Amino acid sequence: MNVPTIAELTRFAHAADADDVAAAIESRGLTDQAVLRGYGVPTVFALGEALLGHVRRMRWIRSGVGSGRVPFLRAALRRGLLHAVLLASAVPLGRAGWAVPAGVLLLGWLWRASATPLPARRRPAAMPRATPSATPGAASGSARRATWEVHGASSRVLPRISGERAGRIAPDGSRPTAAVRRAGLGHLMVGFGQAAAFVLVWRVAPDDGTVPPAVIPVLLGLPLLEVFAGWRAAQVAGALDACDDVRAYRRHLGDVTLVSIMGLVPPLLVGGVTALAACLAPHPWSGHAPARTLVLGLSAGLLLAGLHGVLLLLASQGRTTAAALISLAPLLLTIAALSPVAAPIPGVTSAPGVTSAPAPGTVLPAETAPGPAPTAASAVPPGVSLTTRTVAVPATVLIGALAISYAAGLVTATGRGARR
Amino acid sequence: MPLPPHVASVREVRLGTRGPAPARAERAAAVTAARLLFRGLLGDGDASARLFADGLHRLAALATPPGTAPVTALVLPGAASVPTHPAPSVPASARPGRRPLQGVPTAGALLDAVRAARGLDVSLPRLTLRQARHAAGLLERALRPLSVAAPDADLTHAASSGPPLLCALAALWRAGTPYLLTEHDSHLRRQYLVPGDDDPVRTVLLRFHRALSRLGYESAGRVTTSGRFHRRWQLRHGADPERVLVVPPGLDDPGPAGPEPDAPLLLWRGTIGPDAELPCLLSAFSLVRARVPGVRLVVDGPVADAGYARACRDLGDRLGLGGTLRFTDDPGADGQIVVATAVTDGTPYPLIRSLMAGRPAVATDAGTAAETVGDGGIVVPAGEPDALADACTLLLTDSDLRGRLGLAARRRTLARHAPHAALTAYDHLYRDLRCR
């Protein structure tokens, strides 16, 4: 006779009902006749009921439920440090260094996209394996396949680097749903917007081959923001595991969002106020170009880092479309402000950007001066030739665009959908 | 797979497509239906069963495909003589309706239902919001077959209590099409045997399957199963004994087996996996070896679990079975007697084929083995190697008894599992249901 082991008795304590126990007993080869002979009960079902009642009285078996703590700090710190190391690696790279941190930002959001439930381990059945032709449909299929491959690789490799769990697999294991595709695309757009804003901020200072001061808040802020994002995710996950009431969960989530926003307001205030002070300070100080550049650079960097936190918050709320729009807003606002149809911005004077090796079409921010606009000839140092037409961006315009985007992101994060 | 000539058409339905967002009124109706469904599935009594049926009925109405008629599913063998009119062709554009629970915040409704059930002393584990979301998502997927658009028919034959039953219930409610429910094995029991990592989620899903099975038994015109073993489960969950019929599966006659092997030889046939209970067999065989000189054992079948197969080989070595034990996967393998030790609850087709060929069996009393063997062999309690060894020894050493049991086995299985018997049974059932 097959006697249930302690492990099975423990499992019986968590059985759904008596039939669950009966099925387990039957699967051991016990029949009604056998239980009648061995246990004196007429059927397997009767034995299941008796066993369940008995085991549920053994409270020691029912203990051992997990603590429900969600570890987040280690992974968040690791991810933040990885960001910081990669960003800091831009320092020895000199003039071309902006590309490294910008790429890190882009890849960082691609990394986050890998955490969305795309099917990472199986090729979609509809994916054509043949060589793509030149038709638009084939091009679309090729793009989809490439996106899928990049996503699959990132979802496997990047989490391993940071010690996190791999991306979730779609329930049906086939192709990503439209919502998942939108989310993935949204993450990539956020990454692109952040990278573009970073390039603009990097160029706030004169390009003298050193790392500009604007990078310092970003370098310091990203690890902290990763911890912040990890803390928030842990709070949400903990609430999901702790609450058995939707209203209580929403209350908790509202509190977490409030705390998150309270933590994100100071960078906006500090960045805005210092930038304003740099522009409005008495002439002897504000007229000191290096000091003003330093302050404006730090303000821009602080705002960019804070904006990164706002975008993390929006993405964690599942509002990737809003995050993508807000991420792209600094770039779009800057372009709009500099377009010919835009009204002149009072107190801002643009100067032509000067670089010895500019990328064609790059938007370069330049230092602003409240005085008359320098001519192109006077702005060009001796020995430097203007080889490419570039558009200069005043730092104050960029800071304004960042501040507007930041504020809009905070408002969006507190609005409808914040309790998700 | 080629279709039998009497199958008019086969249509594949994708249930994963998402329709347009429901209107506010439809969404409110779906929320109400979901609440009823959840309250009903978690409870135990008749009132809960009514709530479940009401909720499911409302969801079926909400998921009705636009402009389509109800369903048929006459695809089982035996349907050839039934259609007296041309089978209706299904328009290629017939698409499923929208998902029954699309856009419904089901997690909250499920949590409310769990709290209400616990308040009524229903034994349920605590469900967290994460678990509720997971369970609600699984339930949403499970209910999608309600939206299947079905062609017009006189009868629906649901081949299981899972998704086919939901299609059949929808057709019954939309067009009054009666249905025949066939469970080759108990769908509910199979769900109970599926392990789950998350006990509360598993409990909710099992309650759903239980409630659905009960409703299916209650609403079916007839219920059939492959053996008395599974019938017990159906009766336990509310099936009317008068309406439950055992229809053993039909198998083609392989013809009588050739002459017996000269040397005493035991044949075990099946799938080599944890359900095979091979340790019991090997222990019994080591006892038989001491009593029957020259006896050998052939374990024949595909390997489903390589680790298990390796462990069994190691056990054979430890028991000193050596060259008397052989593992193979040869459909032509034969033995003087067939041994069946598996504890699976499915239909034991290898055992039936051996019995049909006229080989007597020694089987352990598990699942449908006893009713399959009948008077064609010896049935011993499961998990008792001594009893198994005694029965094997008896048959190996008594050729007259072997011969008598072999003849009885062939006669009985030919009568019980003849294809025409199953066809006739379903023919009568179809006619009976059509006449109602």
Structural domains of chain B in order of their starting residue, each with its CATH number? 24-83+101-246 (no CATH), 265-417 (3.40.50.2000)
Q: What is the pLDDT of residues B126-165, one digit of tens each?
A: 889 999 999 999 999 999 999 887 777 889 999 989 899 9
Nearest to A243 among B125, B129, B232 (CB): B129
Whether B187 contacts chain A with CB within 8 A:
no
Nearest to A31 among B18, B202, B366 (CB): B366
Are A25 and A12 spatial neighbours (Cβ–Cβ below 8 Å)? Answer: no
Q: What percentage of residues in chain B have a pLDDT greater than 70?
A: 91
3-state secondary structure of A341: coil
Which chain B positions have a beta carbon within 8 Å of A29's beta carbon?
277, 343, 364-366, 382-383
pLDDT of residue A75: 67
Confidence of residue B52 (pLDDT cuts 50, 70, 90): very high
pLDDT of residue B435: 80
pLDDT of residue B44: 84
Are A294 and A213 spatial neighbours (Cβ–Cβ below 8 Å)? Answer: yes
**Amino acid identity at B32:** T
Q: Work out the end-to-end distance of chain B between its first and last CA atoms, rounded to an integer number of angstroms.
A: 34
Nearest to A29 among B125, B126, B366 (CB): B366
Mean pLDDT score across all residues of chain B? 86
Non-local (6+) Cβ contacts of B3 within 8 A are B10
pLDDT at B228 over 60: yes
pLDDT at A308 over 90: no
pLDDT at A169 over 70: no
Q: Best interface-test mutation with A: which of B144, B191, B192 has the largest number of A CBs within 10 A?
A: B192
Whether B111 contacts chain A with CB within 8 A:
yes
Rounded to the nearest 10 degrees, the angle between the axes of helix A18-27 and helix A6-13 is: 150
| Spatial distance between the Cα atoms of B212 and B214, rounded to a whole number of angstroms | 5
Q: Check CB contact under 8 Å for B114 and A244.
A: yes
Q: What is the pLDDT of residues A257-296, one digit of tens each?
A: 888 888 888 888 988 888 888 777 665 655 566 777 788 8
Mean pLDDT over residues B37-54, rounded? Answer: 91
Confidence of residue A177 (pLDDT cuts 50, 70, 90): low
Nearest C-alpha neighbor of B366 from the set B381, B384, B351: B381
Q: Check CB contact under 8 Å for B130 and A240.
A: yes
Question: Which residues numbered 353-392 in B keep a CB inside 8 Å of some CB on A?
Answer: 364-367, 370, 381-384
Per-residue tokens: A383: 């020995």
Q: Check CB contact under 8 Å for A2 and B189.
A: no
| Spatial distance between the Cα atoms of B392 and B381, rounded to a whole number of angstroms | 13
Residue A363 — φ and ψ, nearest 5°?
Answer: -90, 120
CB neighbours of residue A263 within 10 Å: 17
Non-local (6+) Cβ contacts of B353 within 8 A are B251, B254
Per-residue tokens: A282: 């008495």
Q: What is the pLDDT of residues A93-109, one digit of tens each?
A: 555 566 666 776 677 67
The whole-angstrom distance between A282's CA and the closest CA on chain B is 57
| Spatial distance between the Cα atoms of B260 and B204, rounded to a whole number of angstroms | 53
Torsion of CA A37, A43, A47, A50, to 10 degrees: -120
3-state secondary structure of B377: strand
Q: Check CB contact under 8 Å for A244 and B115.
A: yes
Q: How far is CA B167 from CA A156, A176, B7, B20, B433, in A?
A: 39, 27, 19, 22, 17
Whether B107 contacts chain A with CB within 8 A:
yes
Q: Check CB contact under 8 Å for A171 and B141.
A: yes
Question: Which residues numbered 268-297 in B keep a CB inside 8 Å of some CB on A?
Answer: 275, 277
Confidence of residue A112 (pLDDT cuts 50, 70, 90): low
Per-residue tokens: A263: 């933590």
